């Protein structure tokens, strides 16, 4: 393990780093201690996520070390995500300029169903009675046109008190050019309410997107802050950090003010670990899918994690930077059913952690993808969670039989149908993030993680005509591993709307340095030494008059930058235009050195023999079952075979070969011509 960062050095003896990922079904733990990895899983407690975390710490025997301040904890939280999806943020007021109180309600006036003559009404983010108008108008040059008086502020305070709101979102026009009016209002309200100002949340053009981001941050902030405070008390005095949606971490003491930056906290951890492992193994291009209990997240790594400012959470745009990810409701817990037309369907509803799939023996009766895998023999009871959780195959069979009777099919064929439909959902999602964006997959490895991913990886690779795949070490808890390896970081942006021909390299460098200083100050406050920090700059560029833009790495040769834009636009959209280029935003990404520089190596010298054999539906002969920790580096395993481990199982399909590398990652190669 690398030397602890200065924020950890205040503790006398750092014994290890603990990563915790709270998922919809399981809460995963990865401890890196003394050069070795320890993993653990407990069922999540959605009503109070910190209970599962503290339970896992206790079961791992870490309570005393955590209480002594010797185990830094890095956490991927779903609190913000779940509250946003379920509409359970706190009562939040919106402060806008005079005449703009309906801004968030009107939105972009886009219709999800273009030809629907009677579209369903969209949810209103902020009810009309909680929208308040204030003077302080700023024009497009950044000049403040109206003053804000003490009487204006006093009247606003009284209105907010009568409304009974808990948080306030301030979203004034052109605040990214002149934040003074927003600062004035925030200073007057911050003592009594949780306040988010748009110039702090997203200093970019687009009053609707900026307003939604600010509202989300304000409405989720109190819930996230209260949760993190409870968790901080539970692990104190050990330091607690939280994963951001960009794949870097921040101290939990400041994360409550940036709730909107945590909406993809857990999935971002998996991508952080996948990128880390790719760097360790020399791979540059990964197509990833994270198949958990509730959903599957797919993403693409091409030299680095791809970020986007066009994400969504439920019906809302999320314009803050986050990992570029596509999520579908197809996970191990996805429920299979017969629709009104007599067709077999899978998801998006999930059995979750309670009651969970029928085979978990927790009272679930509806058939799920996990139950289908159990019926087909792909999950072996004696190996499930290392033998620490009983797998009730009889309950899974009974659940699948309900569908088999309705469909008039044998049990095994029904179970296989559930798997095939779930696979097709995932294949479609993988195509959206890759082929539909102009990527050729010949040089990519399909990288699976999440507890259920290994059982589906070969089938998905075959469907995508991919010849290479990887099941990372500890793939069943990869998001938790990502918490351990991710560095502290910040993503900053600022609007700069000019034609590229009208700016100089020197002007842009000055703008970048201003952003960089903001990030340096924030990370230094968390104890990150300036010598550890690395800065990367980029620009959002578009053809003049376009709505959407491409993000390009900064290069001092602006002519080369322009040509790079044309090439990327042609790859993405199939054409280039003879139109001047326009800058939209500048961005600065700063990150420190991660707490871990390398993962333990696997030192088994002799090839392992199968521990047992299993009968699987669709295979004429019994299939060998290997224990993953027994395997030697470079050992060849020709499919069909099952490779079991504590927290997941990998199915090596016929026509595929699996070979562990030095770190224990399974590299899969298609043997088909």
CB 242 within 8 A of CB 453: no
108 CB burial (10 A radius; 0-12, 13-18, 19+): exposed
* Structure confidence by residue, pLDDT tens digits, 309-333: 888 887 889 999 999 988 887 888 8
The pLDDT assigned to 10 comes to: 43
Which residue's structure tokens are 């298609």? 670
- Tell me what the mean pLDDT of segment 603-631 comes to: 89
- Tell me what the mean pLDDT of segment 290-300 comes to: 85
Is it the case that residue 530 has pLDDT exceeding 50? yes
* Structure confidence by residue, pLDDT tens digits, 463-514: 999 999 999 988 888 889 999 998 889 989 999 889 999 999 999 999 999 9
* Structure confidence by residue, pLDDT tens digits, 450-461: 878 899 999 999
The pLDDT assigned to 280 comes to: 86
Instruction: Answer yes or no: do 546 and 663 share one domain.
Output: no
Instruction: Answer yes or no: do 568 and 640 share one domain.
Output: no
CB 257 within 8 A of CB 469: no
- 200 lies in some domain: yes
The pLDDT assigned to 212 comes to: 96
CB 516 within 8 A of CB 588: yes
Please choose, from the candidates 171, 170, 169, 177, the residue with its C-alpha nearest in 3D space to the C-alpha of residue 144.
177
Output the domain CATH number for residue 97: 3.40.50
Instruction: Answer yes or no: do 122 and 205 share one domain.
Output: yes
**Which residues fall within 8 angstroms of residue 616, CB to CB, at 6 or more apart?**
376, 377, 378, 623, 640, 642
User: Percent of the chain scored above 70 by pLDDT?
Assistant: 97
Last residue of a domain, one of 220, 240, 274: 220
Instruction: Answer yes or no: do 495 and 619 share one domain.
Output: no
Task: Indicate the range of 99-113, 360-374, 649-663 predicted with least confidence.
Answer: 99-113
Instruction: Answer yes or no: do 37 and 95 share one domain.
Output: no
- 499 lies in some domain: yes
The rounded Cα 436 to chain-centroid distance in angstroms is 21
The pLDDT assigned to 387 comes to: 67
Distance CA 169, CA 174 (A): 15
- Is the bond leading into 237 cis (omega within 30 degrees of zero)? yes
- Give 6's pLDDT tier (boundaries 50, 70, 90): very low
Instruction: Answer yes or no: do 655 and 557 share one domain.
Output: no
User: What is the token pair recorded at 335?
Assistant: 């429920």
Instruction: Answer yes or no: do 172 and 61 share one domain.
Output: no
* Structure confidence by residue, pLDDT tens digits, 234-292: 999 999 999 999 999 999 988 989 999 999 888 899 899 999 998 888 888 999 998 87
CB 590 within 8 A of CB 489: yes
- 371 lies in some domain: no
- 557 lies in some domain: yes
Instruction: Answer yes or no: do 117 and 216 share one domain.
Output: yes
Output the domain CATH number for residue 229: 3.30.420.40
- 469 lies in some domain: no
The pLDDT assigned to 220 comes to: 95
Last residue of a domain, one of 556, 591, 626: 591
Q: Between 25 and 38, where is the model more confident? A: 38
**What dihedral do alpha carbons 133, 134, 136, 140 form, nearest 10°?**
0
Which residue's structure tokens are 């006398």? 12
Other beta carbons less than 10 A from residue 604's beta carbon: 14
- Tell me what the mean pLDDT of segment 136-140 comes to: 94
Count: domains in the chain: 4
pTM of the model: 0.83
Is it the case that residue 1 has pLDDT exceeding 50? no
H or E stretch covering 28: strand 26-33
Strand 285-291 with 296-302, pairing: antiparallel
* Structure confidence by residue, pLDDT tens digits, 361-375: 888 899 999 999 999
Is it the case that residue 542 has pLDDT exceeding 90? yes
- Tell me what the mean pLDDT of segment 389-402 comes to: 92
The pLDDT assigned to 672 comes to: 83
Distance CA 392, CA 379 (A): 11
Furthest-apart CA pair in the chain: how many Å?
A: 83
The pLDDT assigned to 389 comes to: 74
The pLDDT assigned to 4 comes to: 38
- Give 3's pLDDT tier (boundaries 50, 70, 90): very low
Instruction: Answer yes or no: do 538 and 650 share one domain.
Output: no
- 366 lies in some domain: no
User: What is the token pair recorded at 103?
Assistant: 């801004």
Instruction: Answer yes or no: do 215 and 249 share one domain.
Output: no
The pLDDT assigned to 460 comes to: 96
Instruction: Answer yes or no: do 21 and 59 share one domain.
Output: yes
The pLDDT assigned to 186 comes to: 97
- 411 lies in some domain: no
Instruction: Answer yes or no: do 553 and 541 share one domain.
Output: yes
Write out the residue range of the structural domain in which residue 159 sits: 87-220
The SS3 of residue 535 is strand
CB 189 within 8 A of CB 168: yes
- Tell me what the mean pLDDT of segment 216-230 comes to: 94
Last residue of a domain, one of 540, 557, 591: 591
Is it the case that residue 8 has pLDDT exceeding 50? no
The pLDDT assigned to 11 comes to: 41
- 420 lies in some domain: no
């Amino acid at each position: 393990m690398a030397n602890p960062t200065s924020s950890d050095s205040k503790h006398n003896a750092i014994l290890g780093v603990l990563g915790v990922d709270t998922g919809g079904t399981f809460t995963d733990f990865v401890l890196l201690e003394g050069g070795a990895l320890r993993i653990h899983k407990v069922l999540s407690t959605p009503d109070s996520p910190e209970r599962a975390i503290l339970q896992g710490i206790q079961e791992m025997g870490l309570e005393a070390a955590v209480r002594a301040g010797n185990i830094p904890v890095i956490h991927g939280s779903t609190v913000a995500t779940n509250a946003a999806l379920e509409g359970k943020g706190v009562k939040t007021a919106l402060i806008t300029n005079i005449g703009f109180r309906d801004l968030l309600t009107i939105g972009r006036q886009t219709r999800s169903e273009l030809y629907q003559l009677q579209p369903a009404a969209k949810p209103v983010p902020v009810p009309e009675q909680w929208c308040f108008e204030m003077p302080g108008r700023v024009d497009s040059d950044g000049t403040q046109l109206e003053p804000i008086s003490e009487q204006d502020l006093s009247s606003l305070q009284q209105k907010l008190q009568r409304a009974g709101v808990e948080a306030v979102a301030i979203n004034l026009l052109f605040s990214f050019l002149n934040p003074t009016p927003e600062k004035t209002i925030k200073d007057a309200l911050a003592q009594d309410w949780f306040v988010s100002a748009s110039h702090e949340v997203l200093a970019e053009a687009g009053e609707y997107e900026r307003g939604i981001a600010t509202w989300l941050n304000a409405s989720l902030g109190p819930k996230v802050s209260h949760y993190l405070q409870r968790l901080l008390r539970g692990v104190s005095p050990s330091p607690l950090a939280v994963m951001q949606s960009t794949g870097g971490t921040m101290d939990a003491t400041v994360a409550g003010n940036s709730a909107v930056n945590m909406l993809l906290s857990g999935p971002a951890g998996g991508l952080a670990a996948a990128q880390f492992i790719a760097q360790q193994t020399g791979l540059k291009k990964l197509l990833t899918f994270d198949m958990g209990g509730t959903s599957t997240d797919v993403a693409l790594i091409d030299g680095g994690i791809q970020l986007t400012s066009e994400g969504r959470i439920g019906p809302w745009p999320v314009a803050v930077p986050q990992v570029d990810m596509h999520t579908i409701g197809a996970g191990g817990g996805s429920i299979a059913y017969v629709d009104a037309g007599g067709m077999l369907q899978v998801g998006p509803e999930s059995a979750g952690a309670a009651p969970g799939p029928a085979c978990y023996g927790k009272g679930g009766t509806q058939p799920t993808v996990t139950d289908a895998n159990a019926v087909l023999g792909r999950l072996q009871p004696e190996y499930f969670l290392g033998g620490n959780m009983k797998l009730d195959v009889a309950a899974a069979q009974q659940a699948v039989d309900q569908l088999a009777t309705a469909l008039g099919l044998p049990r095994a064929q029904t179970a296989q149908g559930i798997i095939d439909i779930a696979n097709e959902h995932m294949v479609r999602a993988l195509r959206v993030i890759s082929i539909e964006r102009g990527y050729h997959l010949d040089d990519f490895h399909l990288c699976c993680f999440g507890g259920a991913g290994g059982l589906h990886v070969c089938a998905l690779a075959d469907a995508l005509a991919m010849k290479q795949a990887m099941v990372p070490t500890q793939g069943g808890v990869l998001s938790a591993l990502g918490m351990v390896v991710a560095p502290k970081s910040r993503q900053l942006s600022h609007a700069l709307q000019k034609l590229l021909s009208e700016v100089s390299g020197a002007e842009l460098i000055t703008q970048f340095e201003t952003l960089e200083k903001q990030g340096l100050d924030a990370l230094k406050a968390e104890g990150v030494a300036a010598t550890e920090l690395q800065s990367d700059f980029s620009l959002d560029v578009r053809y003049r008059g376009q709505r959407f833009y491409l993000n390009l790495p900064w290069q001092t040769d602006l002519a080369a930058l322009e040509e790079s834009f044309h090439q990327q636009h042609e790859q993405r959209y199939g054409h280039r235009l003879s139109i001047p280029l326009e800058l939209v935003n500048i961005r600065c990404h700063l990150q420190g050195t991660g707490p871990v520089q390398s993962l333990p190596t696997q030192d088994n010298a002799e090839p392992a023999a199968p521990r047992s054999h299993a009968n699987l539906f669709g295979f004429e002969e019994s299939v060998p079952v290997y224990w993953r920790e027994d395997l030697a580096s470079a050992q060849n395993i020709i499919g069909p075979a099952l490779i079991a481990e504590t927290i997941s199982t990998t199915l090596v399909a016929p026509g595929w070969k699996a070979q562990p590398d030095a770190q224990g990652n399974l590299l899969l190669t298609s043997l088909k011509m």
